[in-house]
Chains A and B, each alone.
Chain A
Amino acid sequence: MPSPPLSIVQSLSPRIAVLTSQDVIQSCEANGCRGLEELLRPWEGGAERVSILSSTLTPTIHPTFPLRFVSFESVYVNPTLSAPNPDITVDLISSFVGAKKPEEEQHYPLTRSLLLSSRPLASHETFNHPVGILYAVSTATLDPLGMLNKLHTQSTATAAQNVPWMDGNTVLRFYVVIHDISTMGDDMATAHELLANVKKAYGPHSTLLVINSQIEHREPPMSPDISTHSSIPLPRPFTPEQSNPSALSQVYASALSSLTLSPMAAASASLGETAVSNTPFSPSRPVRRKLYGSKLSAEDTQRLAALVRELVGQSLVPWMEARVREWNEVYHANRRGITGRLFGAGRKFFGSRPNSPAPGTSPTGYNAVKGYYPMSAVEALSRRLADFAFMLRDYKFAGGVYDSLRKDFAQDRAWRYAAGATEMYGLCQLLSHPFFLPSSPPTMKPIPFTNLQHVEITSWLEQAVTAYHQHAPATHIQLDALRITVLYYECWKMIGEWRAVGAALVKGAGEADEVPSAVMIEEAAAADVKGGKSSNGKRRRAFHLALAARRYETAGLKTYSRRCLERASQLYRISPWTSAQDRIEYSLGRQAYTLGESDVAVEHFLRLLRREDTGVPGSQAGPLQDMAQAYEQLAARPELLAESYEKLKLPTPVFDSEKTRIIPSSESSYSGKSREKWTELEGQVLSTWDRKGKKPMTLLPDAKRIVVGEGETFQVELVAVNPLNSPVVLTDITLTIDPTEDITVETISEISLEPYETRVISLSVTPSWASTIHLSNVTFLFHRFFPCVQALTKKGRRLHGTKAQRLNPTYAEDTSLTVNVTSSRAGLHVELEGFPDRAYAGEEVEGRIRLFNRGKTQVENVGMIWNHVGLIRRKEDTKHSDTPFSIPNLIQPNTVMSIYQDKISPGEEREIPVIITLSNPRIMDMLGLITFSNPGDDPQTFATTVSYQIESLPIINVEAQVRLCEKTPLEFAIILETTNMSSEILQIDGVKGVSPIWETNPVQSFETLFPNQVLRSIIPVKKELSTKTDLCQSATIEALSKLVQGQPLDEISASLDSSTSIAGPSISTDDLPSYLAARRSHRLQQLTSSFPTISSISLAKLFPLIEPLDLDLVIKYSISDRQGQIFIHSLHPSPAFSLVEEIRKTINIAIASGNKSTRTMYEETSRLRQVLMDSVLDGVLAKEDDPVQVRIRVGERGKVKHDFKQNVAKKLPVNFEISNSSPLLPVRWILKLPRPSTTSLDNTLSPAQYTGLLTRKGTLKAGEKEEVIADLWIHEPCSIDLGGWELSTETGDVVDGLDWVVRNSWNRTGDEKILHVEDIA
């Protein structure tokens, strides 16, 4: 049955004023009704299938045609009675809505019905003006006709009407004769007679109504449900079979308590007696019984319904149709075509209008002062015409009239009239939708309006609403605007139109903080998500909900407000619009607090305390304080607190669990880069293990495993971050450790954090029992009130073992917060003391190692190992000044040096004097590993670390040069230039040489050097001939040969002599350790750069510490009482010779035979091999220098005097001295003397003219020299160039004493050497 929504039709239905005699009222009161209008109320909608003739004379059958019966007084005499004034309406709405729970979803229906039914009698519309008057007299009246006459006069008298703008006379008059059977008996004769008289007097619009035919007393039925509701009951009249007193009573009860049908009655009933007593005819009456229709029988209900049907069908509708036609003529006469418009304009200027229905007496225009049109004005008439047409559902026609009225009213600046017409025009357009035609099938799916139509309709509504709002303060509620918005909304709902409906509702709600506005906005939120795509509108809905919540809250409906907020927060909570989110949460929290739900409040406030970088600084202080209060309340209710305990968690953790770490008491320098160096030292200790007891797997404490002894205190470092932008105080910070027994944990009473501050907090923990403990939680009071427990869980490293682990991130268990408490752990604390921060290079400084046993057991057998080998050593008590004849010649691995053998009891301390020798100028990071074991049958070894930093400063700069000495080929001189680089006066105490074969004379000098002063000294060096040192280093070469031939490095080890003899007086025993350490470091460095592919450990197995041909110099210096020595390593006085010729031969043979081309799988392997070959065959060992020296001696100082007068020419002997300075190799040589050159460029020099054999040759053994004397022929004084000779030399090996195998050869040409030949004369 599609038709306009009942709520619209009912609220805009014709109003019939009921005027009755007192007898009739009494008859009605017998049924619990205050008058005939109430007796008729359930049957107001009783007229069904009403045929209405439209203005185009097409009859249409409409399914319903409700009426509104009201008492005469409420329309004519006291219009305020019919509807409550706006303020009361608003109060009513809020009280009714507030009385319902939000879950009942009654807020909108209640608001709608109260809004629509509270429409007051107004000048700008005629819907509440009476359309008809129903006169009723009872047959019980003594003079019924007289009474009827009196009533008629009362209604037509001018005094009867209270408002000037209402046409109370042009109404349908309908006369009813009431026959009350309960008082008059069932004799109908008098009634019919009276009806005939009435018809005779007042015409055909009269009828007879028989009521109260239930004479026999029935059992009083149950009290009906009289709770107010918003629906419109449409009861069917009872048939006799169905007659049921309680049902009948319920029908009346629900009609009378319906807020839509009888707002005042229902409202007053619920508002209590005060409201009831305001009505003028109630004081005389007893309190209304909660029992209705006790005298009515089933037939009576049918008669009542029939009365309404008759009134509608036979009287009202035809009468209204007639009025429409009649007034239409007038309307058209006034505005037909363009002339009507022109006349309309003329009327404006001349103040009168032709064809006015009531010309002359009364002013017909808009009364701007009082704000209404007189009822004689054509505009007033036209409005009534339009309203009648609207009531008769001729919406197109009504719309046309409203449209023209709208313009006229706007011209007259009658804004309220204009708004009223505008809204009705839009409503007419809306109701013209084919869906509302009664002929449409009920199943029809409404076709939506086009966009344009919809926008137009919406704009009419908006215009009307805007007009209402503009003419009142914004904060004042505009019920008119709300009402019309509700009407539009109802229509839109029917046809399923949701476009922009929410926005229209919000606009209609205006700005007033009242319940109706809030209800409308909440309804807008509901409308937002309807229609369109499902995802659309959610955000708008949330926004509208938030607005509605605020209004509800201001209006005092907290439950509704909270519901809105909660719905809104569902969306906002998942979207990162933090500020909006905070606002909602804050409001929710505050409301929960006021409702006493402090647990919920705390939960909401907690959400506000998350980290948010964009907020206004300090803004989180407020929620924090509020939460403190709420929590205080919560704490007062322990059972609630316990219940909600799980939910209350800080959104952003305060402690950064990733950064939490445990610091064992002493070993603070484990982490970072130096860890590798410790591990290296540890490896060195383990590789040279020489201790009692089992060799442990590791010495250093495991980095991933934290071990502390019983009763030892360790620190837990927590990183606290203030997540808020306001200061926060953390109190009672402590740790929960699993298991909790026997552990003392420090508690920090209070720290305060500035906004976003990060602070490191250290808590000390002392376990007193051996076990494995795990840090599980940190417990603290957040901001002094909120107890928090934060789990300190860390993830271990990411696992990649299985496919499942790779697909789902899986992490190993983290052990960094697990502490192993061992029962008796030996512990040693080591410190270096007494050393200066800086000293000069080579200086020896003395200090102490302090050993302190901080463990529980005794400790013995303390040793140390340092990363700087040999630089730190125990101080010997005795002085040795003797010089050893041999020194160790192996590159020793770094080993543990014993520093203290005896037991150290717990708590005891020992100091061991040590000496540090400083190395080259730089900052020395000395990292030491101190090993120790606990005494007993099963000694275990532990290690602890010590580190020290000392800066080594440059002291002297030494430059050394080797010169050949004249006497023998194996004697040299070393020229030493020593510069004082320091800023102090120092003394050079002596220079000594250390070498297996080179003998030096120690220089004892006591030269004082001032800063930047240079000392030059010459040190003669000669080969010690008696030495038995193997110059060829055959052990090393053999090993290298194996290596080059492809043996793995691990299997090769040269059989090196462990010591080598030293030539001549040399270094003293005291200075030996420093020298050896420096030599070792130099040698390793040298070897590593020469053989980059061989590791340093293997180098030590292949090479001796000192090469036989090396000469090291030790320069001792002293600054006042401080002493030190500087070393110069690896001076080579003699020419080098290749040691690897044998290997080269082997390799060449192998390559030539072609069977040694080993293939490798990887390119890198072959590359490394090539590097090794190159470093061996072409490296330092393969270096070979020309050992031959040539000296030419003739005459004296390059001058020869000759008496040419005596002897014209002379043979002058020139002595070529050829010496072999090689310590090992023999040499063959060929000397070619030049022929005199004929083409000399320089004429000042004469060419040398040799005579005799021009080519000489010979062989020299190592260290030998030979003189060749050539004759130079001179015949005149001149300058002769002795250069130009050519010398070819080759070194070689004598095989089997016969064959000469060439190793290397050189050629040289003599440089220019000038000989002056002078005449004696």
Chain B
Amino acid sequence: MSFYLAIVSPLDSPLFELSFPSAKPPPGTASSAASTSSFPSWSTFTASNGSDLGADGQTGKTGGNLGLLSGETKTGPERDRAMCQMIAHKSLDSVEEMMEGTGSLYLKNIDRHNEWTVSAFIATSVKFVLLHDIKNDDGIRLFFLDVWESYVKILLNPFHTVNTPIRNPMFESKIRASAKRNL
């Protein structure tokens, strides 16, 4: 029940990243069953070895005093963030493939990895990539439209180029508000 939003520039660099939990209570079992595919569901974050990137080097203690090297210092959020980034980054391939074949701006459920589903929105030159683990097509569409509006306002700034990272706290709070409303 969490989301990860990335705004990706035409040069593939993340202009803005935000991960946030869902505001709504988790839907009932019926809807969650409907949303997940027939693929066995496990969580990248919770499973002990389900995470394809976590738990670094638990077997790597061959080189001597590697207590510090065992990745214990890597905190959970950091690991999640790396994973989300990689999925979002990878899904850009799918986004680009899909972009060619469709005229719509909202590309829903274009890619998935484990429990994450990726939806995207093509806002002129930049792409919004949203990782979500529940199915909520309409909410996500509305959310994307809100993000788009906020982004266009950012873009009105004459000093902003499409490759400028967005560090505006107002933008973030607007997106959080929209996420609270729609997701």
Residues of chain B with a CB closer than 8 A to A513's CB: 49
Residues of chain A with a CB closer than 8 A to B17's CB: 614
> Known: A536-B93, A539-B90, A591-B60. Is A576-B49 also a contact (CB below 8 A)?
no
Residues of chain A with a CB closer than 8 A to B74's CB: 586, 619, 622
How many residue pairs, one in A and one in B, have C-beta atoms under 8 Å apart? 134
Residues of chain B with a CB closer than 8 A to A1181's CB: none
| Residue A215, interface by CB 8 Å | no
Contact present for B89 and A590 (CB under 8 Å):
no
Contact present for A579 and B59 (CB under 8 Å):
no
Contact present for A466 and B40 (CB under 8 Å):
yes
Tell which of B24-32, B50-58, B146-154 binds the partner.
B50-58
Residues of chain A with a CB closer than 8 A to B62's CB: 594
8 Å CB interface, A603-650 against B: 614-616, 619, 621-623, 625-626, 629
Contact present for B59 and A575 (CB under 8 Å):
no
Docked complex Cα distance between A543 and B40 (Å): 21
Instruction: With a 10 A CB-CB cut-off, give which of B13, B49, B113 has the most chain A CB atoms.
Output: B49
Docked complex Cα distance between A621 and B73 (Å): 8
8 Å CB interface, A559-589 against B: 572, 575-580, 582-583, 586-587
Residues of chain B with a CB closer than 8 A to A595's CB: 63
Residues of chain B with a CB closer than 8 A to A623's CB: 73
| Residue A532, interface by CB 8 Å | yes
Contact present for A543 and B89 (CB under 8 Å):
yes
| Residue B155, interface by CB 8 Å | no
Interface size on B, residues (CB 8 A): 46
| Residue B77, interface by CB 8 Å | yes
* Contact of B13 (CB < 8 Å), options: A474, A537, A576, A594: A576
> Known: A474-B42, A580-B85, A586-B56. Is A539-B75 also a contact (CB below 8 A)?
no
B87 to A, closest residue via Cβ: A543
Residues of chain A with a CB closer than 8 A to B94's CB: 540
Q: In the complex, what's the smallest C-beta–C-beta distance from B10 to chain A, in angstroms? A: 13
> Known: A553-B59, A554-B49, A590-B60. Is A579-B90 also a contact (CB below 8 A)?
no
Instruction: With a 10 A CB-CB cut-off, give which of B39, B53, B71, B94 has the most chain A CB atoms.
Output: B53
Q: 1/0 contact trace for B41-82 toward A, CB 8 Å? A: 010000101101100111110110110110111110111011
Contact present for B53 and A583 (CB under 8 Å):
yes
Contact present for A619 and B63 (CB under 8 Å):
no
* Contact of B73 (CB < 8 Å), options: A469, A532, A542, A622: A622
Residues of chain A with a CB closer than 8 A to B60's CB: 553, 558, 590-591, 594
| Residue B12, interface by CB 8 Å | yes
| Residue A507, interface by CB 8 Å | yes
Residues of chain B with a CB closer than 8 A to A536's CB: 93, 96-97
A451 to B, closest residue via Cβ: B101
| Residue B38, interface by CB 8 Å | yes
Q: In the complex, what's the smallest C-beta–C-beta distance from B63 to chain A, in angstroms? A: 4
Q: In the complex, what's the smallest C-beta–C-beta distance from B106 to chain A, in angstroms? A: 21
A546 to B, closest residue via Cβ: B86
A554 to B, closest residue via Cβ: B59
Residues of chain A with a CB closer than 8 A to B87's CB: 543
| Residue A1079, interface by CB 8 Å | no
Docked complex Cα distance between A1127 and B88 (Å): 80
Q: 1/0 contact trace for A530-558 toward B, CB 8 Å? A: 00100011111011101100110110101
A632 to B, closest residue via Cβ: B65
8 Å CB interface, B114-140 against A: none
Q: 1/0 contact trace for A437-472 toward B, CB 8 Å? A: 000000000000000000000000001001001100
Contact present for B68 and A626 (CB under 8 Å):
yes
> Known: A539-B89, A550-B53. Is A593-B73 also a contact (CB below 8 A)?
no
Residues of chain B with a CB closer than 8 A to A537's CB: 93
Residues of chain B with a CB closer than 8 A to A629's CB: 65, 68-69
Docked complex Cα distance between A865 and B51 (Å): 78
Docked complex Cα distance between A558 and B61 (Å): 12
A620 to B, closest residue via Cβ: B73
| Residue A146, interface by CB 8 Å | no
Q: In the complex, what's the smallest C-beta–C-beta distance from A523 to chain B, in angstroms? A: 16
Q: In the complex, what's the smallest C-beta–C-beta distance from A788 to chain B, in angstroms? A: 22
| Residue A1029, interface by CB 8 Å | no
Q: In the complex, what's the smallest C-beta–C-beta distance from A411 to chain B, in angstroms? A: 18
| Residue B107, interface by CB 8 Å | no
Contact present for A596 and B90 (CB under 8 Å):
no
| Residue A1085, interface by CB 8 Å | no
A512 to B, closest residue via Cβ: B49
Residues of chain A with a CB closer than 8 A to B93's CB: 528, 536-540
Docked complex Cα distance between A532 and B73 (Å): 41
| Residue A740, interface by CB 8 Å | no
Contact present for A553 and B57 (CB under 8 Å):
yes
B77 to A, closest residue via Cβ: A616
Docked complex Cα distance between A544 and B89 (Å): 12
Q: In the complex, what's the smallest C-beta–C-beta distance from A1260 to chain B, in angstroms? A: 75
B50 to A, closest residue via Cβ: A511
Contact present for A590 and B52 (CB under 8 Å):
no
Residues of chain A with a CB closer than 8 A to B92's CB: 539
A548 to B, closest residue via Cβ: B52
* Contact of A507 (CB < 8 Å), options: B39, B73, B77, B78: B39
Docked complex Cα distance between A475 and B42 (Å): 11
8 Å CB interface, A956-974 against B: none
Sample of 5 more A-B contacts, CB < 8 Å, known A470-B40, A590-B60? A469-B40, A474-B40, A475-B49, A576-B13, A616-B78
Sorted from nearest, which 5 A-B pairs have the closest CB atoms? A622-B73, A543-B90, A594-B63, A583-B82, A576-B13
5 contacts between A and B (CB under 8 A): A466-B40, A511-B42, A540-B93, A615-B78, A622-B74
